[in-house]
Amino acid sequence: MTIYRSRDGLRHQFRDVLNFYYPACLDTATGGYVAQLDERDGHVYDARTKHLVATARGVHNFSLGVLADGPHWCEYAAEHGLQFLSNAHWDDERRGYDWLLDGRTATDRTRYCYGHAFVLLAGARAYQAGIPDARAVLERAFDVLEERFWEPDHDLYADRATPEWRTVSSYRGANANMHACEALLAAYEATGDDRYLDRAYTVADRFTREVTSATDGLLWEHYTEEWEPDLSYNEDQPRHQFRPPGYQPGHHVEWAKLLALLSDYRPAGWLRERARDLFDTAIDLGWDDDHGGLYYTVEDDGEPIVPDKYGWVHAEAIGASALLSRDDESYVDWYDRLWEYAQEHLINRRFGNWYERLTREHDRDGPNHGPEVEPGYHPLANCWLAARALEDDPDLFETDRERRD
């Protein structure tokens, strides 16, 4: 039985991840965060590059630290990052968030829905945590998403635009809409404003039930302007960093998590049924029976395309299994199994942070030393969700007293 069925176990892992990034991540000279920490020993390999997603995720992480009664410095760290996000990343002339900075100088101003969704998420969690000016960040990000990316003819968001907003790409992506749904749910939790919940429900319903009917309910990643699946997209680049071809078990479990959360606020029976279906599909297609763990990308019959094991995939599966366990105790077994796998292979035993990627056989082939976008966001978010699930139904989990006894 895993130690992560207890509040103490989850709190310990949560703080380990925060402690890996703090205080090294604080850029006190330029502002914002230094996200490029080597996952093996924590040394900074790039102190200049500031990625919009990494900045927003950092604000989210430290805001969760406040909400989870974490270390006292979480509030300062969240406020520090939020100020940089709302000033350095924001292009006031063109009214959008810059994608990539060198220090405080924009080097890529492409407008990504994905990035703006994470700003909305950061603003929502910071507002929940009582960070000053967070509500303004939340509302500004939502306004940009609605005015620039929302397509009412499709009830989904477009993917990206040029810096001056003159041209919107014909590419349509599942990932941007998934994270927009996540951020909208957080905005609803923070504010109680139904417009965020309504939009989250619309995106979830449209994508996970209607769009995916073209691929027998499986979640394809890449679409045309009319939201038809582009099955040949990047087929010659199976290891593309952000947009690989194939089906991703990790996104199936991530959507399962979001549908389970959405069902807490909307009494629609299909939500939990579809959540279970997506989680079960991820396991059926993606679990490596020989070496353990979930593949990164697969064909529709489960044949692996990229058999690597990513930390974020398993963190999301943990969060999803915790939430699904509230209705079906069989998912507790997967919760345990996933934590055991993470402990054995994915968690750095020295520092407690999670490795980004392993080979199928769990070898580390060297860190990715490009611009960082994952400063512990997935394990922190899903530790927090697991703790919420424990509070909702403590009988499904071992209590702290039982563990001590």
Annotated catalytic residue within 51, 60, 89, 378: 378
For the question of residue 240 being annotated catalytic, the response is no
Considering the candidates 251, 252, 314, 345, report the single residue annotated as catalytic: 251
The Cα–Cα gap between 161 and 163 comes to 7
For this structure, is 314 an active site residue?
A: no
Identify the residue with better confidence: 82 or 368.
82
> How would residue 405 be classed by pLDDT, with cut points 50, 70 and 90?
very low
β-pair type (172-173, 222-223): antiparallel
Average pLDDT value for the chain: 95
Which residue type occupies 159?
Answer: D
Domains and CATH numbers, the chain: 3-404 (1.50.10.10)
Q: What is the mean pLDDT of residues 395-404?
A: 52
Question: What does pTM read for this prediction?
Answer: 0.96
Q: pLDDT digit string (tens) for 21-41?
A: 999 999 999 999 999 999 999
Angle at 343 between CA 338 and CA 347, to 5 degrees: 115
